[in-house]
Homo-oligomer: A and B are copies of this chain.
Amino acid sequence: MPHDEHDSMMTSPKILISLSSFGAAEVRRHGQLWFARLCHAAGADGVEVRGELLTDAAAELAALARAARELSLNMVYSSPEGIWSADGTLDLPALDRALLAVERLGARRLKMSIGAFGLRSMATLAMLKERLHACSVELVIENDQTPAAGTLAAMQDFFSAAGECGLFLGMTFDMGNWHWVGECPLQAAVALAPQVRYVHCKGVQRQPQRWIAVPLAESSAPWRAVLNALPADVPRAIEYPLAGGDLLAVTRREIIALRGVAAGDAARAGARA
């Protein structure tokens, strides 16, 4: 097969920006619509809208939905709430708030973490399954920075329990969050790769008192090895601080860098084929 023809068949992943990357204060000041337009101008394929940064949810989500259609922007909705409450019960109101927000956004993909899913939550999996089947939303579970909803064992146990209940959910793999809970991201990537539908790209550095999120290129972690252990064709979202005098240029530069990583992979995959 000639390389050119083959190359054109390579799928390169969509590049999104989590709007939290621009900083909570800035995003609340300018609104997520303004930043979504900036991301589009910078070359992003889509954005992740953050529930915790909405100030007038109904109006903002409607405006974001219009912009998404107009600019052909891929949209993911991120809910800041866990699916299960501290007592292990399914948090139906939180789930319904998230499903409503996704609908208003005209999006299909909803990102949430499991919260306090545990032994007592087993019986509620059927209810979650029913709720999700009633709509066309794709729920992708994220590993967050808490022991209850962010360790490898917590993820594996949840996906296993859900699967036994006939509920097959994909995962949002956050490359950086594993460090907050003392896990090895490479081990987690190998173990969870089959579930992964969406990747949060985040470099990390350890400061004496805390982990901080940094661009991949400044990460002390083996970020490329982690990316290579994950599916190559699922969307990748930037989720690390984007700041600077020329925010458009900074955002464009980071998108180009992340596309370059994927392009190198695709070129080599073409060479191997």
Interface string of A199-220 (1 = CB under 8 A from B): 0000001101100000011111
Q: Which residue of chain B is the closest to A268 with respect to CB atoms?
A: B157
Query: How far, in angstroms, from A119 to B7 measured CA to CA in the complex?
Result: 10
A89 to chain B minimum Cβ distance, whole angstroms, is 15
Instruction: With A186-B184, A209-B218 as known contacts, state yes or no: A225 contacts B268, CB within 8 Å.
Output: no
Q: Which of A184, A221, A265 has the most CB of B within 10 A?
A: A184
Is A272 engaged at the interface, CB distance under 8 Å to the other chain?
A: yes
Interface hit among A49-57, A70-78, A126-134, A145-153: A145-153
Q: Let me know if B183 and A222 touch, CB within 8 A.
A: yes
Q: In the assembled complex, which residues on chain B have CB atoms less than 8 Å from the CB atom of A260?
A: 147
Q: Let me know if B161 and A222 touch, CB within 8 A.
A: no
Q: Let me know if A119 and B228 touch, CB within 8 A.
A: no
Is A271 engaged at the interface, CB distance under 8 Å to the other chain?
A: yes
Instruction: With A3-B119, A160-B272 as known contacts, state yes or no: A224 contacts B264, CB within 8 Å.
Output: no
Q: In the assembled complex, which residues on chain B have CB atoms less than 8 Å from the CB atom of A209?
A: 218
Query: How far, in angstroms, from A209 to B219 measured CA to CA in the complex?
Result: 9
Interface string of A255-273 (1 = CB under 8 A from B): 0000011001101101110
Q: In the assembled complex, which residues on chain B have CB atoms less than 8 Å from the CB atom of A147?
A: 260-261, 264
Copies held by the complex: 3
Q: Let me know if B153 and A265 touch, CB within 8 A.
A: yes
Instruction: With A122-B271, A208-B205 as known contacts, state yes or no: A264 contacts B154, CB within 8 Å.
Output: yes
Q: Which of A118, A208, A222 has the most CB of B within 10 A?
A: A222
Q: List 30 A-B contacts (CB under 8 A).
A: A3-B119, A119-B271, A147-B261, A151-B224, A153-B228, A154-B264, A154-B268, A157-B268, A157-B271, A157-B272, A160-B272, A178-B222, A181-B224, A182-B216, A182-B219, A182-B222, A182-B223, A182-B225, A183-B222, A183-B224, A183-B225, A184-B186, A186-B187, A187-B222, A205-B206, A205-B208, A206-B220, A208-B218, A209-B218, A220-B220
A219 to chain B minimum Cβ distance, whole angstroms, is 7
Q: Which residue of chain B is the closest to A257 with respect to CB atoms?
A: B147
Q: Let me know if B157 and A222 touch, CB within 8 A.
A: no
